Amino acid sequence: MRIFGLGLMALTLLIRPVMAQEISSYSLENGMDVIVIEDHRAPVVVQMVWYRAGSADEPAGVSGIAHFLEHLLFKATDDLAAGELSDTVAANGGSDNAFTSYDYTAYFQRIAADRLELVMKMEADRMRDLRLTVDDIATERDVILEERNTRTENSPDALFSEQRRAAQFMNHRYGIPIIGWKHEMQQLSLEDALAFYRRFYAPNNAILVVAGDVQPDQVLTLAKKYYGPLAPTADLPKRSRPTEPPQLAERRLTFVDERIAQPYVIRTYLAPERNSGDQKQAAALTMLADLLGGSAQTSVLGRKLQFETSKAVYTSAYYGGQSLDETTFGLVIVPSQGVGLAEGEALLDQAIGEFIKEGVDADQLERIKMQIRASLVYQQDNVQAMAHEYGSALTQGLTIQDVKDWPKVLQQVTAEDVIKAAELLLDKNRAVTGWLTNPTAQKEASQ
């Protein structure tokens, strides 16, 4: 029951491309998409069901309901007792879990390949036949509130991230935390959960991804048997969320917390995302993030600010290109002892200014492209990562073809593409610069 997209670490994950390969896809009569990824090296299978419904699809005022519902899906159905699905999976030597992000909620099991029918039957059952009670709500709401306490309330980094995102997005729900605002989580009701469930948990809003030691026609037969009879949501509206107005003013915020030992600066720019059939700019931004912040030894920020001048103990650049709507590109600098945040930020700007002027180092670009090609090999070795790749892409506005094209689009990025994308991106009017600091450092800085 993980949440993606919260905090710094999640955002620094590189989007890993995959090589073109044989993928089968179908559409059931009730509108459900089915993707099969064959991999016969080991007798295991991963079943994932992805819903085109994440926290950014929530109605106003009930933040956290997407993630809350993800927890509640482990409660009883008409055929299963609460917890029975996970218990059955474990008893059969498998594992299962679920996760929620801005654009999707997904459920998965990893189990011996001959148990696919077992997990499919259970997963299909809870798509439409959940039987929630008021008790379930009360119990599980305490769980998600505790999750928020642990993950967010006790973490100045996480609180800082929430405040920054709220400033970054003026209109889009990407500015609202996936886990929810605490005061709204406390009010989430059975009615809220059921409204979200009935609307979004339906075959015409879901994608089944099965990866592993299976035959496509066998998967399709099972999918028709178990998911086929489920009723679609009638009149499911087009998926369209409020988008950003022009961002016209440079924004800054300072978060002060005495627990912060190592103050840092993080700046995010509103950035275009990967769009279906049009991934070129996103590919250039992916390269830009890697060029600027990919490695401490060879990246632009690492070299200029850490290795050569020791002005920073850490730098980073990251880009969340896979996103249904406009996303962000981030820069981080953790200045060295004795270097204040204002100086650190000025050095960061200076380093990036120099980079734009000097242009892309051809060797570095080639090295990164080679690393990306190599990473594909590792990726393909992980059947669950492949399933994740397709499931997330398809719930974020991309197609199977887009996923297949992505490695090629990345390899075609030129030095000029990167600089052009950087110049378009680096508009401070579309940026939020955050300082995370402690009272002592803040006091020193203002003297």
* Residues near its own copies (CB under 8 A): 59-61, 63, 159-160, 162-164, 166-167, 170-171, 173, 175-176, 181-184, 240-243, 245, 247-256, 429, 434
Q: Is-contact 16 379, C-beta < 8 A?
A: yes
What is the closest distance, in whole angstroms, from the C-beta atom of residue 47 to its own copies in the complex? 34
Q: Which is nearer to its own copies, 90 or 346 (CB)?
A: 346
Q: Which is nearer to its own copies, 158 or 419 (CB)?
A: 158
**Paired strand residues for 25:** 35
Fill in the DSSP letter of residue 336: P
Q: Chain centroid to CA 49: how far?
A: 16
Catalytic, out of 22, 38, 58, 70 = 70
Distance CA 101, CA 367 (A): 32
Q: Which is nearer to its own copies, 163 or 382 (CB)?
A: 163
What is the closest distance, in whole angstroms, from the C-beta atom of residue 110 to its own copies in the complex? 36
Distance CA 62, CA 41 (A): 44
Cα separation of the two ends of the chain: 46
Q: Is-contact 375 294, C-beta < 8 A?
A: no
Return the closest-CA partner of residue 50 out of 110, 98, 117. 98
Q: Which is nearer to its own copies, 203 or 434 (CB)?
A: 434
Q: Which helix (H) or strand (E) holds 37?
A: strand 33-38
Q: Is-contact 400 126, C-beta < 8 A?
A: no
Q: Which is nearer to its own copies, 177 or 293 (CB)?
A: 177
What is the closest distance, in whole angstroms, from the C-beta atom of residue 383 to its own copies in the complex? 38
Instruction: Tell me, yes or no, if 29 is annotated catalytic.
Output: no
Q: Which is nearer to its own copies, 109 or 437 (CB)?
A: 437
Distance CA 347, CA 432 (A): 17
Q: What order do you get walking across the sheet with 431-437 strand by strand?
A: 312-319, 327-335, 264-271, 431-437
- Tokens 């670490």 found at: 9
**Paired strand residues for 434:** 253, 266
Q: Is-contact 132 194, C-beta < 8 A?
A: yes
Distance CA 426, CA 285 (A): 11
Return the closest-CA partner of residue 166 out of 147, 149, 181. 181
What is the closest distance, in whole angstroms, from the C-beta atom of residue 326 to its own copies in the complex? 12
Q: For 150, phi and psi rounded to 5 degrees?
A: -70, -45
What is the closest distance, in whole angstroms, from the C-beta atom of residue 241 to its own copies in the complex? 7
Q: How far is CA 142 from CA 76, 110, 147, 324, 374, in A?
A: 18, 28, 8, 31, 44
Distance CA 53, CA 64 (A): 12
Distance CA 117, CA 223 (A): 9
Distance CA 272, CA 329 (A): 9
Catalytic residue ranges: 70
